[in-house]
Amino acid sequence: MKLTILGCYAATPRTITNPTSQVLEIRNRMFLIDCGEGTQVQLRKNKLKFSKINHIFISHLHGDHFYGLVGLISTFMLLNRQTDLHVYGPKGIKEIILLQLRYSNSFTGYNLYFHELISKESEIVYEDEKVVVKTIPLKHRIYTNGFLFEEKIGDRKLNVDAVQEYHIDTCYYQKIKNGSDITLEDGTVIPNAEITFDPIQPKSYAFCSDTMYDESIIPIIQNCDLLYHETTFLESEAEKAEKTMHSTAKQAATIAAKANVKQLILGHYSTRYANIDLFQQEAGTIYSDVLLADDGKTFEF
């Protein structure tokens, strides 16, 4: 998996920072998560191909998480996109986008599907043969979901030396990778474990923004490889965090520790802080493996 941070600052776009948007690449799929104003330009700056984005996940309908969406949809139109585009987000997103396209008398030349979310329970919103995406219901001022991206367990790996030793025909290879035992012509049964290795462990990524401290997300994100958790404030502003239903760095780290995730990435910093290292320091007192998101940064895991 490769995560590219297009923007990770709260509230308004500035000359040097961007509101929330990120791209997650998994097994040749490219998912866009949130789409604040300026996302198009950030995609260009980071040399990410617009045409590879087929699924866009929007956490909630605060402007710093989706005001760039209608422009991106329009740009796809101008680029003569043909491929279907799927948008997953809170109820209302379809009305907002279509109203604007209607007034501009615009029609997408591609199929635009909205998958509007209303559930307060975690649910699967996307699934194909390699990836599954579930919502993570979050607690914020308006209806908000995080998203958990999980690779599915892949095929078993062929033990090439072993299959050649048994003179097994290549036409059986996929069956073997799927986990089948093989019966040789003399009737001998070769157990699958003898001719394969375990598949690569699937990875998982949890995006949690915006949210206040909420332990009810822990069962959903338990043991995930990488957790992006918002930390709008430092603990010194805990009161403000609670009032605005955001989190502090300490709270983000506490969730990471309790959910036993492998790594924590912090983001969604309030622009009041000149130095984001303070977030890492504060979170580091609770949880060891803390990374800082920043615009243009990539994380491979």
Q: How many residues does the chain have?
A: 301
Kindly provide the residue ranges of all beta strands, DSSP E only, lying in 152-282, ordered along the sequence. 157-158, 182-183, 189-190, 196-197, 204-208, 226-230, 263-267
Please name the residues in contact with 224: beta carbons below 8 A apart, sequence gap of 6 or more: 148, 150, 204, 205, 206, 259, 261, 262
Structure tokens at 9: 């600052």
Query: Over the range 134-148, which residues count as b (16 or more CB within 10 Å of their CB) and which as e?
Result: bbbbbebeebbbbbb
98 lies in the site for its own copies, by CB under 8 A: no
280 lies in the site for its own copies, by CB under 8 A: no
- Of residues 37, 210, 230, 295, which one binds its own copies by CB under 8 A? 37
- Of residues 4, 21, 32, 38, which one binds its own copies by CB under 8 A? 38
Which segment (57-65, 115-123, 230-238, 290-298) binds its own copies by CB under 8 A? 57-65
61 lies in the site for its own copies, by CB under 8 A: yes
CB 10 within 8 A of CB 232: yes
Which segment (87-95, 122-130, 234-242, 245-253) binds its own copies by CB under 8 A? 87-95
Please name the residues in contact with 238: beta carbons below 8 A apart, sequence gap of 6 or more: 248, 251
CB 213 within 8 A of CB 253: no
Q: How far apart are CA 221 and CA 147, in angstroms?
A: 9
Closest approach of its own copies to the CB of residue 138, in Å: 15
105 lies in the site for its own copies, by CB under 8 A: yes
Is 92 or 154 the residue whose CB approaches its own copies more closely? 92
- Respond yes or no: is residue 186 known to be catalytic: no
Write out the binding residues.
60, 62, 64-65, 140, 210, 268
The contact set with its own copies (CB under 8 A) reads 11-15, 37-38, 40-41, 44-45, 61-63, 67-68, 70-71, 74-75, 78, 90, 92, 95-96, 99-100, 103-106, 141-142
Write out the binding residues for Zn(2+).
60, 62, 64-65, 140, 210, 268
Residues that are catalytic: 64
